[in-house]
Amino acid sequence: MSMPSWSMLRSIQNSDQVNKHQVKSGTARRIVRFAQPYRRDISVFLVTVVIAAGIGVATPLLAGHVINAITGGGPDAADTVVRVALLIAALAVADALLSLAQRWYSARIGEGIILDLRTRVYDHVQRMPLQFFTRTQTGALVSRLNNDVVGAQRAFTSTLSGVLSNVIQLVLTAVVMLSLSWPITVLSLVLLPVFIIPARRVGKRLAEITRESYNLDAKMNATMTERFNVSGALLVKLFGRPDAEAARFGERAERVRDIGVQQAMYSRTFFVAMLLVASLAQALTYGLGGWLAVRGEVSAGTVVTLALLLTRLYGPLTALSNVRVDVMSALVSFDRVFEVLDLKPGIAEKPDATPIPAGTGRIEFRDVRFRYPSADEVSLATLEDVVTLDRRENETVLDGLGFTVEPGQMVALVGPSGAGKSTTSMLVSRVYDVTSGAVLIGGVDVRDATLESLRDTVGVVTQDSHLFHETIAENLRYARPGATEEQMWAALEGAQVAGLVRALPDGLDTVVGERGYRFSGGEKQRIAIARLLIKQPSIVILDEATAHLDSESEAAVQRALAEALRGRTALVIAHRLSTIREADQILVLDHGRIVERGRHDDLVAAGGLYAELYRTQFAVSPPRYEGEVEIVTVPPATVEP
């Protein structure tokens, strides 16, 4: 018996989730606009669906004619049977070809929509402000790119074709059955409520089990993600808890197993009940129809036709009883995807943006004030797994910042934790935009500059530089896609790490591992510096680039940084004296304001906040290793492209 039973069961499972989600007005119109590129394919697809539905009703009618020809006898009976049988065979072939055509167009439309949605969402998310990623659950965001995109795709394939096909089949089948024998048709439908009402109850129970299964799967996935990355695996080993972790995971896995057994039994019960009710309805049809046929009120072929049509009546009726849930499920999936696409990117390039002059090195802050965007400006409650987003405005982080860094100078930013040092550096590279005031590079407001020229001008090395799980060459080319092998080796030489890379069996083709963990902290930092050198920016930002390194690693990184700063403007956030004592200017930040500025000796003599930080954090001590290197500025030099 051909029935969309699983589709109905899935609809019942999704009904609670769908009812809880309010679809925004205008979603349907956006879906139609989104489907415009596929309108021709969708039209052909729907035509094949309509023809296939007609064939589905025509075949039982022809089968009835065969039975009538056989029972009626006559000289032409044999020819009639053969002709009708050949027609049935032709329809079967046509139906098979239509099925292939439907699958082709369904896959073409569905996979095309998945491609469009995923690429658009991925591109859009890449342009979101950094705070979006600090607030969002990565798993929830990935789910939008996978589950919801697939759910949206289903709207143009299974849902659209299913609704149209079921409506056509239902109307044609009902008309034909009622025209053949309305008493038999009415009696055949008596058992329909007996199936649908219990099925909904079973479906709700199954939905509860399914949700619990999803939750447990999500928790297991989160556990595996946390424990299987390098940091998590190290923590488990350091505290010696593998047995406890295995036991904890095993408990959840056992519950998933138990739920799987329950799901299997509920699903089987559902399908058995559906087949049983449909079979009983067929039995009633044969019973009443046979009795009427014996009395001569209907033909034997009519009874067979009604019995066969009945199999095509229950399916559409049960499926269409949940059509609202199917349609709403598709709308919800689209709505959840559109939610992400509707979030405004934090940084956008103006249509009339101008490029920053090549080789410029002047940085100017003009009365800069900045606060981080509130949660409702950059995030979604569903991506943070909260009921409502915090709408309170964040406090001001930078308050009236003003200073200038001339080309070739090194300016150091120091201050207590939370003073706004890293935030200041992020405004230069335009990770964030100022709330008021302006940041200028080479006389151009960074908000008016092209993003490409800004990325080419400014290079950043952070305290925990990230490397992708790719080869060294691919990590270097991320800064300059067209870099040659000679340029990469020159950058590695400048970063004091070429010898290490040459000693590796695969050289530049060595895979660095997740986040570069196959290398030590100092080695990873020097590869990151090489990535900066190959970019050849005129402005370099060092955000505590030697933090958390041992003495030997710091010495190597300091030598690499000396090369990185040669002839370039530098904005340095430092926590060690060796990095900043030769700075042209030191800016002391506290609560988002510059409270002191000057050179090292003058600030120490002034006895203010810098002197206090100097005594506690930057205390003078003898060199901790032979040949300790300090960063010094050098006159500007021409940088070869």
Read off the pLDDT of residues 289-326 as tens digits, 9 standing for 90 and up. Answer: 888 888 888 888 888 888 888 777 777 776 676 666 66
- 234 domain residue, yes or no: yes
Please give the Cα distance from 324 to 321 (Å, whole number): 8
Give every strand in the sheet of 444-445, ordered side by side.
396-405, 363-371, 436-441, 444-445
Examine the domain organization and report whether 315 and 367 are in the same domain: no
Please give the Cα distance from 128 to 131 (Å, whole number): 8
- 351 domain residue, yes or no: no
Examine the domain organization and report whether 572 and 450 are in the same domain: yes
Residue 200, pLDDT > 70, answer no
Examine the domain organization and report whether 330 and 414 are in the same domain: no
Residue 113, pLDDT > 70, answer yes
Residue 257, pLDDT > 70, answer yes
What is the per-residue pLDDT for 449?
Answer: 92
Q: H-helix or E-strand containing 405? A: strand 396-405
Lowest-confidence pick of 82-96, 330-344, 374-388, 562-576: 374-388
CATH number, residue 467: 3.40.50.300
- 389 domain residue, yes or no: no
Residue type (1 letter), 464? D
Examine the domain organization and report whether 332 and 412 are in the same domain: no
What is the per-residue pLDDT for 25?
Answer: 65
Read off the pLDDT of residues 445-494 as tens digits, 9 standing for 90 and up. Answer: 999 999 889 988 998 888 777 888 888 899 898 888 888 999 999 888 88
CATH number, residue 218: 1.20.1560.10
Give every strand in the sheet of 593-598, ordered side by side.
458-462, 539-543, 569-573, 410-414, 585-590, 593-598
What is the per-residue pLDDT for 20?
Answer: 52
Residue 21, pLDDT > 70, answer no
- 358 domain residue, yes or no: no
**What pLDDT band is residue 127 in, cutting at 50, 70 and 90?**
confident
What is the per-residue pLDDT for 125?
Answer: 84
CA triplet 552, 230, 554: central angle to 5 degrees? 15
Overall average pLDDT of the 595-601 stretch = 90
- The burial of 259, by beta-carbon neighbours within 10 Å (0-12 exposed, 13-18 middle, 19 or more buried), is given as middle
Name, of 5-19, 319-333, 341-355, 552-566, the range with top average pLDDT: 341-355
Overall average pLDDT of the 76-85 stretch = 86
**What pLDDT band is residue 22 in, cutting at 50, 70 and 90?**
low
Asked if residues 450 and 623 have their Cβ atoms less than 8 Å apart, the reply is no
Name, of 289-298, 344-353, 376-385, 401-410, the range with top average pLDDT: 401-410
Please give the Cα distance from 624 to 552 (Å, whole number): 9
What is the per-residue pLDDT for 522?
Answer: 79
What is the per-residue pLDDT for 222?
Answer: 65
SS3 240: coil
What is the per-residue pLDDT for 576?
Answer: 63
What is the per-residue pLDDT for 211?
Answer: 63
Examine the domain organization and report whether 546 and 415 are in the same domain: yes
Examine the domain organization and report whether 321 and 403 are in the same domain: no
Examine the domain organization and report whether 120 and 236 are in the same domain: yes
Look at 93 and 246; give whichever has higher pLDDT.
93
What is the per-residue pLDDT for 24?
Answer: 64
Half-sphere exposure of 547 (CA within 13 A, CB side): 14
Lowest-confidence pick of 11-15, 333-337, 569-573: 11-15
Look at 8 and 241; give whichever has higher pLDDT.
241
Residue 28, pLDDT > 80, answer no
- 354 domain residue, yes or no: no
Examine the domain organization and report whether 412 and 310 are in the same domain: no
Max Cα-Cα span within the chain: 124
Q: CB under 8 Å to 584, separation ≥6 — which residues?
A: 406, 409, 410, 411, 599, 633
Examine the domain organization and report whether 300 and 369 are in the same domain: no
Examine the domain organization and report whether 335 and 398 are in the same domain: no
Look at 135 and 619; give whichever has higher pLDDT.
135
- 353 domain residue, yes or no: no
Look at 273 and 13; give whichever has higher pLDDT.
273
| CA separation, residue 536 to residues 149, 454, 556, 639 (Å) | 40, 12, 20, 7
What is the per-residue pLDDT for 469?
Answer: 83
- The burial of 369, by beta-carbon neighbours within 10 Å (0-12 exposed, 13-18 middle, 19 or more buried), is given as middle
- 21 domain residue, yes or no: yes
**What pLDDT band is residue 121 in, cutting at 50, 70 and 90?**
confident
Residue 367, pLDDT > 80, answer yes
Q: What residues make up the domain containing 221?
A: 5-342
Overall average pLDDT of the 568-596 stretch = 83
Residue 123, pLDDT > 70, answer yes
Domain count, the chain: 2
Please give the Cα distance from 318 to 281 (Å, whole number): 14
Entry pTM: 0.69
Examine the domain organization and report whether 336 and 372 are in the same domain: no
Q: For a pLDDT cut of 90, what percent of the chain falls above it? A: 11
Examine the domain organization and report whether 312 and 368 are in the same domain: no
Residue 11, pLDDT > 70, answer no
Read off the pLDDT of residues 169-185 as tens digits, 9 standing for 90 and up. Answer: 888 888 888 888 888 88
- 627 domain residue, yes or no: no
Kindly report the average pLDDT of the chain as a whole number: 78
- Strand 458-462 and strand 444-445: pairing? unpaired
